[in-house]
Amino acid sequence: MKKLIVLIALCLSCQVFSQTDEDVLKQIYKTALVDGKSYTWLETLSMDIGGRLSGSLNAERAVEWGKAELDSLGLDKVWLQPVMVPKWVRGAKEFAYIKAGSGETTNVNICALGGSVSTNPLGVTASVVEVKNFEELKALGEAGVKGKIVFYNRPMQADLINTFSAYGGCVDQRYMGAVEAAKYGAVGVIVRSMTLNIDNLPHAGSMTYEDLPVSKRIPSAAISTKDANLLSTMLKLDTSLQFYFKQNCKQLEDVKSYNVIGEITGSQFPNEYIIVGGHLDSWDLGDGSHDDGAGIVQSMEVLRLFKTLKIKPKHSIRVVMFMNEENGLRGATEYAKEAKAKGEKHVVSLESDAGGFTPRGFSFDCTEASFNKILGWKPLFEPYLIHYFIQGGAGADVRPLKTDTNITAGLRPDSQRYFDHHHAANDTFDAVNKRELELGAASMTALVYLFDTHGI
C-alpha cells in the first residue's frame, strides 16, 4: 500500500513539472503582462537619464544604471566590457532660415547630423540647388554646385508597407550626402529628414566624410519634412533665394565606455551562448525611448522572466547592452572581437532595435534547415498574434557575430509609426505603449526559451 501511494505521488509530481511548450509560453506572456518590469525600467532610463549619445555623461549614467539593475536580478555573472567610442557633441542649438530674393526671411527647423563639422562662427549663407539623388548631383557637376548648398530632397517611399525598406531606400543621401556634394565644391548640405511624417521635427542620424581631408569637409544638417517641402516650393518660385544655417557641433577625441553584460549560466551547455540585446546609446534630441531604450529593457526582461519563472536554461543566456550603435558600432565590434578571441560559441543572437511597438514576429539570418525548424514553432505564437517569420537581416549589433552555422535574429514590431519618432525630439517615454512593450519582451523570451529547449 505504501509503495502504491509513493508511486501515485511520483506520477503526480511528474505531471506537475512536465510542462508543454504551450504551458511555458502562456506563463511567459502572463508574467510579462501582469508582473512585468520592462516599462518601469524604460521610464527610469528615459525620464531620469534621457538621451544617451556615445561618450556623453548620460551614456555613462546609463552604463551605471544598467549594471546596477542586472546586479539586482541575481544573475550568475554581470560585468562591464570596455570599449573606446567616438565623442561628438552638438553644442548650442542650430539655427537656419530661408532668405527670399525680396530679403524676407523664414525660419526653418534643422539639426546637425551626427559626425558633421560645424559651420564657421558666423554661419553659412549660399544659394541652394535641389536634387533627389546622386545621379542628379553628378549631372549638375561643379558648374551647377560649386559655392552652393546642396539640398537632398528624396522622400521615403510611402507605398512601401515595410517602412524600413523605405528608410533604406533614401538614407544614403543622409550618410553619404556630404562626401558626394564636396566632390563638386558645395559649401554645405541640407538633407530631408528620414520620416514619412510631415512635421516640424528634424531627425538626426549619422553621416560620414570617409577619407575626405579636414579642409574639404562641409557642414551637414537635416531639415524637417514640412520645411523641406516649403524650401522646395520656394525654390520653384524663386531660384535666387538663399539659405542660411549655423551649427556648433564638434568631434572630440575617443573616450572609454562600456558594454553592459549579464549572464545566466547554462546547465548543460555552459559554453554555448544565446544572447539578447539592444543598444544602450541613443541620439541626443529625445530620450531614446523607442531607439533603443525599448530594446534594452525588453532584453533585460528576458533574463528576469527566466529567473522569475525558474526556467533553468540548458545554454548560457546573456543580455548585452551594446554601446555606440548609432554612430560607430564600436560596442558590437568589440563584443564580437572578444568573443572570437575567447573561442565563444554564440548559437543564437537576438536583437530588439526596431522600437517598442506591437510585435509582429522575427527575422532570421540562418540556414534553410534552421529556418524550417523555426517555422514549426509558428503555431505556438499564433495565440499571441505573432505571425511574421522571415529569412532576412538581423540587428546591426548582432551582425558581427554571424557565422555559417549560427543564427542571428531581430524582433520585428509593427513599423508604421517608428519613423515618426526615429532620431527625433519626440522619441520620448510617452510615445511607448506599456502593453506593446511588454508583448515584445514576452515574444523574445518565448523565442529564446524555444531555442534553448529544442536547439537550432
- Positions annotated as catalytic residues are 325
CB atoms under 10 Å from CB of 236, counted, come to: 9
Q: At what angle do helices 294-308 and 57-72 cross, to 10 degrees?
A: 10
Across the strands, what pairs with 188?
149
The one-letter code for the residue type at 41 is W
Distances (CA, A) of 366 to 102, 391, 399: 60, 7, 12
Omega within 30 of 0 (cis) for the link into 292: yes
Report, in this order, helix, strand and coil percent for the chain, each rounded to 5.
40, 25, 35
CB atoms under 10 Å from CB of 139, counted, come to: 10
Q: Is 242 helix (H, G, I), strand (E, B) or coil?
A: strand
CB atoms under 10 Å from CB of 82, counted, come to: 11
Beta strands in 375-421 (DSSP E): 388-391, 407-413
Q: What angle do CA 11, 17, 22 make, to 5 degrees?
A: 120
